[in-house]
Amino acid sequence: MIPLNCVIIGVGSPFTVEIDESASFYELKERIKKMNEIRCRNVDAKTLQLFLAKKDKVWLESVDAVALSLGEGGTLQGC
């Protein structure tokens, strides 16, 4: 399991999601939604937008944060 630190912009405190290394991008979104059922009750997991905020142990500036998306063959794009 890989621990990922997450935050929902404009809402509360950071939280950690543990996800299997082989899990899909959609499974990560589902896990995030499940951990935030009240805040995300009216949100479809597939519409969640995830952003890379830390790369190579360095926090990115907000203008450099990279939106992640699923590319051809299920690979992450934007990393």
Per-residue model confidence as pLDDT tens digits over 12-54? 788 999 999 899 889 999 999 999 888 888 889 988 888 888 8
3 vs 11, higher pLDDT: 3
Q: 31 and 16 in contact (C-beta within 8 Å)? A: no
Q: 69 and 48 in contact (C-beta within 8 Å)? A: no
Q: What residues pair up with 11 in beta bridges, in sequence order?
A: 8
Whole-number pLDDT of residue 79: 47
What tokens does 63 get? 């203008």
Whole-number pLDDT of residue 61: 79
Whole-number pLDDT of residue 66: 64
Instruction: Annotate 9-43 with three-state secondary structure.
Output: CCEEEEEEEEECCCCCHHHHHHHHHHHCCCCCCCC
